Structure 1
Amino acid sequence: MYYFLIPFIAWFVAGITKFIINYVRFGADAKKRIGNGGFPSNHTTIVTATTMAVGFHEGLTSPIFGLGVAVIFIVVIDATGLRRHVGYHAASLNLLQNNKIHRESMGHTKVEVAGGIFLGVIIGFVADFLS
């Protein structure tokens, strides 16, 4: 049950953190910014928290921890590469159509991903400490 709950806790903490940051930055418009993109990266937080909880509990040399690190790399590459370029594509389409119907914030900057990794490590550590 321990490993099953960590992703949900990480998702919740990252989402609340992102909303608070957006509320401070944009006020009432924070609700419009719910979803992909922004600081911290939810996806990165989820896989990092789960992987770190496994690493702290099972050992940093365990095969399952190594697999988790590989998944983190895939998520980071996807967030900073493909999904970021999908956002650029949406921005171009919005310019061509003279309106904003496509969501432009899809991927993440390196800072947003780093925030997700940092938050994920903390959540993984706390989860292991409390178990």
Structure 2
Amino acid sequence: MAMMVVLTTPWALSPPPPPSLLSSTSLFTNFPLLSALMAFTVAQSIKFFTAWYKERRWDFNQLIGSGGMPSSHSSTVTALAAAIGFQEGFGGPMFATAVILAAVVMYDATGVRLQAGKQAEVLNQIVYELPAEHPLSESRPLRELLGHTPSQVVAGSLLGIITAVIVHLIILACS
């Protein structure tokens, strides 16, 4: 009975090197990254055009600001998680990591950041009522729109999932 011995070198067992950062195959075909960026862009655009519709003026801060409907943070991390699920499988560790990240971000948006915004509102009111000679009376107001309501987070999450599905279908159709 013959025994077969397979010799391997350490470099034969290692995975292939990652594509270069400047490679067109690394950035422009990164499905999870494209999905997340697209979801962020769509969410911020919705806020921008909604603000114009309500106020009849262009508020460019809406393109980069936090808070409001839908949650761009939620749409971004949800699109990222869904895209990783489509690409790597929904049972793998990368998807699990992305889901936990998304849950932490969404919890923070409805919890800590929402409460910080409410505190900023109260503090701004207190400063507004200070006498003019008080050293804090000329303080710049704190940002009040920091967090999200649960409905804003749910809307952002749905937008993220829909965006990841659409990008996934486009990639399937093009390949």
TM-score (norm 2): 0.69
How many residues end up aligned between the 2 structures?
Answer: 131
Kindly state the Cα deviation for residue 5 of structure 1 after the two structures are TM-superposed: 2.6
Return 5+ residue gaps in structure 1 as ranges: none
SS in 2 for 1:103: coil
C-alpha distance after superposition, 1:69-102 (max 9, x if no partner): 1011101110000000110111011101118711
Does the 8 Å contact 2:44/2:72 carry over to 1? Answer: yes
Q: Give the structure 2 partner of residue 12 of structure 1.
A: 41
Quick one: which amino acid aligns to residue 9 of structure 1? M
Q: Give the structure 2 partner of residue 53 of structure 1.
A: 83
Quick one: which amino acid aligns to residue 126 of structure 1? I
Q: CA RMSD in A?
A: 1.8
Quick one: which amino acid aligns to residue 66 of structure 2? N
Hey, what's the Cα distance between the residues in 2 that align with 1:54 and 1:96?
Answer: 46
Return 5+ residue gaps in structure 2 as ranges: 1-26, 130-139
**Structure with the larger RCO, 1 or 2 (CA within 8 Å, 6+ apart):** 1
Quick one: which amino acid aligns to residue 153 of structure 2? V
Distance 1:103 1:29, change over 3 A: farther
Hey, what's the Cα distance between the residues in 2 that align with 1:123 and 1:84?
Answer: 25
TM-score (norm 1): 0.90
SS in 1 for 2:111: helix
Hey, what's the Cα distance between the residues in 2 that align with 1:33 and 1:47?
Answer: 19
Q: Give the structure 1 partner of residue 148 of structure 2.
A: 108
Quick one: which amino acid aligns to residue 56 of structure 2? G
Q: Does 1:92 align with 2:122?
A: yes
